[in-house]
Structure 1
Amino acid sequence: MSLVRLNIKGISYSQTQNGAYALILNEVSGDRKLPIVIGAFEAQSIAIALEKEIKPPRPLTHDLFKSFADQFEIVVKQVIIHKLVDGVFYSSLICERDKIEEIIDARTSDAIALALRFNAPIFTYKNILDKAGIHLQGEENPTPSQQTNQEEIIEDELLSDDIEISKKDDTYKKLSITELEDLLSQAVQNENYEKAAKIRDEISKR
């Protein structure tokens, strides 16, 4: 089976599933998207890895794993989303130490959070993308491959390719850049990374 490389398109807060987020992976050599529902903690960890300017005062779990791996010279070479069963994606970490490769089972959300920290490529098999890949609204000739819960979330919340990292919040629009930067610093210090991601998104828009 041939592998298809993916990159991260963005993260969207799900208003249809309380506390859930939709992680969007984009086919590098095509226009299909692979939506994956993940939890709040994993979404925050991925958002922090994407937003380089947000620096947690203490290491998150995935940061700790990275430090541990670095200390023992373990490298995550790539992540492969290798199976889809009943809407659940299964992934593997391809790791290497002393030129010896090991394959480690992982939740897809954890695997992607680690892939970002190791700058490791993300792949899936073509048959998985054929089964679960979708075209977002606004693209030419949309041909959804599968009507899933993930697709419903994307269609409800993402009307274009401009995918937000967090849900819209009008509160921050009334504040100045200086006030937003102060709030961002406080949110990071308090380890409220969901709030930090929203503030950072508003600063980026400015």
Structure 2
Amino acid sequence: MIKVRVQSLGLDQNTKSPVVILQEEEGDRVLPIWIGPAEASAIAMELAGMKFARPLTHDLFPSIINGLGGHLTRVLITRVQDNTYFAELVIQRGEELFTVDARPSDSIAIALRTRAQLFAGDELLTTAAFEIAPPEAGDDVPGGEVELPPGAGLTSEELKEYLRRLNPEDLGRFNP
């Protein structure tokens, strides 16, 4: 597993879906994960340091974990299957360590609130990631204008090509 951080939160201009970009701590590889608007808002609010008088949904889980004597130690983005990413919350209570299956978007929102570390499988960064680089000379397909969006039954090669041509600036900024 490779330690990652939230690099940015954007809006895919093709699908109009929010995208959270995770970047490896010790490198340039990134992992884009398309997420729902509610989870994107939860992530954006935490990144912006917005606090509310009453707990929101993603504030409840850390409160419950702490109330039961545990704490979230880390989040693992473990795999992708049929264009769906899977994550695990790793919780410690005393000497006991256990994992809970969760969606990556919820896991990231919760990890940000608890300051837990984020990790992604190296194979995810290798096979479903793109390097942030300027377009190559002679590249006639601008970033963000690839015909097939992720989640539309793409093969792994089509996803790689989509991500290779995707320019992070084309994602836009997500505002909750």
Contact 2:7 2:21 in 1 (8 A): yes
Q: Report the residue type matching 2:115 in the other structure.
A: N
C-alpha separation in 2, matches of 1:24 and 1:69: 26
Amino acid at match of 1:166: F
- Amino acid of the residue matched to residue 6 of structure 1? V
Structure 2 unmatched runs, 5+: 137-155
Q: 2:107 aligns with which of 105, 111, 116?
A: 111
Q: CA deviation at 1:45?
A: 0.3
Computing the radius of gyration from Cα coordinates, the structure with the larger value is 1
Deviation at 1:12, TM superposition (A): 0.4
Query: Identity over the aligned pairs, expressed in percent?
Result: 31
Quick check: 2:135–2:165 contact (8 Å CA) kept in 1? no
Which structure 1 segments of 5+ residues have no match? 168-193, 195-206
Selected match of 1:34 from 31, 40, 49 = 31
TM-score, length basis structure 2:
0.78
- Are residues 1:130 and 2:126 paired? yes
Q: Point out which structure has higher relative CO (alpha carbons under 8 A, 6+ apart).
A: 2
State the alpha-carbon separation in 1 of the partners of residues 53 and 81 from structure 2: 38
Which residue identity lines up with residue 14 of structure 1 in the other structure? D
Asked if the contact 1:75/1:95 (under 8 Å) is kept, the reply is yes
Normalised TM-score (structure 1): 0.68
Q: Is the 8 A contact 2:88 2:100 kept in 1?
A: yes
Aligned length: 157
Select the structure that is richer in helix: 1
The aligned amino acid for 2:3 is R
Q: C-alpha deviations, 1:32-88, integer Å up to 9, x for none?
A: 110000000000001111111x22343211101112222222211001111111221
Runs of 4+ in 1 over 3 A off after TM superposition: 149-154
1:75 pairs with 62, 71, 78, which one?
Answer: 71
Alignment partner, residue 188 of structure 1: none
The residue aligned with 1:166 is 174
Question: Distance between the aligned counterparts of 1:72 and 1:150, measured in 2?
Answer: 45
Residue 178 of structure 1 is matched in structure 2 by none
- Mapped to 2, the partners of 1:149 and 1:40 lie a distance apart of 24
Aligned to 2:47, which of 42, 46, 50? Answer: 50
For residue 11 of structure 1, the aligned residue among 9, 12, 15 is 9
What is the aligned-residue RMSD (CA, Å)? 2.7
What amino acid is aligned across from residue 61 of structure 1 in structure 2? T
Aligned counterpart, 1:90: 86
Query: What is the one-letter code of the residue matched to 1:148?
Result: L
Alignment correspondent of 1:121:
117
The equivalent residue for 2:152 is none
Distance 1:146 1:99, change over 3 A: farther
Aligned-partner Cα distance in 1 for 2:77–2:48: 23
Partner-residue secondary structure (3-state), 1:33: strand
